[in-house]
Chains A and B, each alone.
Chain A
Amino acid sequence: MSADPTRRVVLAASAALPLLVAGCRGTQVLGSPPQLSAAVRQLRSAITAEQSMVASYQRVLTLLADGRAAAGSGPAARATLAGLLAEHQDHLRQLRARLIPGSPQAAGAGPLPAPSVTGVPTAPRQAIGYLGAAEQAASDRLLGGVLQVPPSLAQLFASISASEATHVPVLAATQVTQ
């Protein structure tokens, strides 16, 4: 655990916006772990969700690079998915930049959980369908989160939610053999 005596959890806003102190638990070191503010919980959960999206896309791209799916419409589908993956990596970078490194640990929240990618189907067409459903769910979750976070973060959530929603029709139109 960090020795930071103030045990602050701070949300970092973009350079143009002021820092927002989301929670400050004073100088007490012992006792039960401090509650994370709703905003920090939402941000951590958004980061975890993006990590899972990135890992899922990587899994499906690997799948499309292998075997029968690599032939036919595979290369075009891989190019589409690689483009969408790059946008998720951008989302993840921006979300992480809003969470000051080390502060969640300082608040007793522990490290972010490793992304989970269980349940990605192995058949290419089903795998792309899975990504589409995951995008819609992620978009809806972020939209719901806009009320739980400060305005500057709400703006980022809303924009990422919109981006993820735009991925759904792209995936629906992505053709793969098999």
Chain B
Amino acid sequence: MTAAGRAGRAAGRRLSQADVGALQAALAAEQAAAYGYGVVGSHLSGTQAESASADWIAHQSAADKLDGLLAAGGATASPAGVAYQLPGAVHTAAQAVALAATLEDQVTSAYLDVVGRGSRDLRMLAAQQARAAALRAARWRGTTVAFPGLPGVTH
């Protein structure tokens, strides 16, 4: 069964409290990322702006997917905020790139939380999304880490 199929099966019945909590947190991270990429893109040009645009779309579509999972599981998805507090000031292209990487770190962590806290049916989808976010973070940052999304695990 595909990850989407598993997750869909999970969503076909009522989600547990833990699933709802973890999915809402992942949704919040996706929504914050989508908002943040708007800021990121406005400070970039050329291929970097194109990357920011593609990543923005990826987060929008992931947020829609989470929204659908929550709704199908009998939960009400929290609406996106009008604006989000960014982790730091963004005035330059370098700051925009750093913000993109931070947003992806937060999304990676949120999905790993679903892996650790959510039901087994949600696990594969969440692990795939964590991997996709870690790939985007590494692309923006230009460096890799041993444990993406698990800042407490250092070595």
Assuming the contacts A156-B150, A158-B127, asked whether A166 and B120 have C-beta atoms less than 8 A apart, the reply is no
Of residues A159, A162, A163, A169, which shows the largest number of chain B Cβ atoms within 10 Å of its Cβ?
Answer: A162
Of residues A83, A91, A151, which shows the largest number of chain B Cβ atoms within 10 Å of its Cβ?
Answer: A151
Question: Which residues 134-155 of B sit at the A interface, judged by CB distance below 8 A?
Answer: 134-135, 137-139, 144-150, 152-155
With beta carbons under 8 angstroms apart, the residue of A155, A166, A167 that contacts B115 is A155
Is A146 on the interface with B (CB-CB < 8 A)? yes
Q: Which residues of B contact A94 (CB under 8 A)?
A: 147, 153, 155
Is A56 on the interface with B (CB-CB < 8 A)? no
- Cβ–Cβ contact B146 & A154, under 8 A: no
Report the bound CA distance from A155 to B127 in whole Å.
8
Is A137 on the interface with B (CB-CB < 8 A)? no
Q: Which residues of B contact A62 (CB under 8 A)?
A: none
Assuming the contacts A162-B130, A169-B139, asked whether A154 and B116 have C-beta atoms less than 8 A apart, the reply is yes
The A-B contact count (CB < 8 A) is 97
Question: Which residues 144-160 of A sit at the B interface, judged by CB distance below 8 A?
Answer: 146-147, 151-152, 154-160
Q: Which residues of A contact B115 (CB under 8 A)?
A: 146, 151, 154-155, 158
Q: How many residues of A contact B (CB 8 A)?
A: 32
Is B112 on the interface with A (CB-CB < 8 A)? yes
Is B43 on the interface with A (CB-CB < 8 A)? no
Assuming the contacts A163-B134, A163-B144, asked whether A158 and B155 have C-beta atoms less than 8 A apart, the reply is no
- Cβ–Cβ contact B117 & A162, under 8 A: no
- Top 9 A-B residue pairs of the complex, sorted by shortest distance between their CB atoms: A162-B134, A158-B127, A166-B138, A90-B146, A87-B146, A155-B116, A162-B131, A162-B148, A166-B144
Q: Which residues of B pack against A, CB within 8 Å?
A: 108, 111-112, 115-117, 120, 123-124, 126-128, 130-131, 133-135, 137-139, 144-150, 152-155
19 A–B contacts, CB within 8 A, in A order:
A83-B144, A94-B155, A143-B124, A146-B124, A155-B115, A158-B112, A158-B115, A158-B149, A159-B112, A159-B153, A161-B127, A161-B131, A162-B108, A163-B144, A163-B146, A166-B144, A167-B144, A169-B139, A170-B138
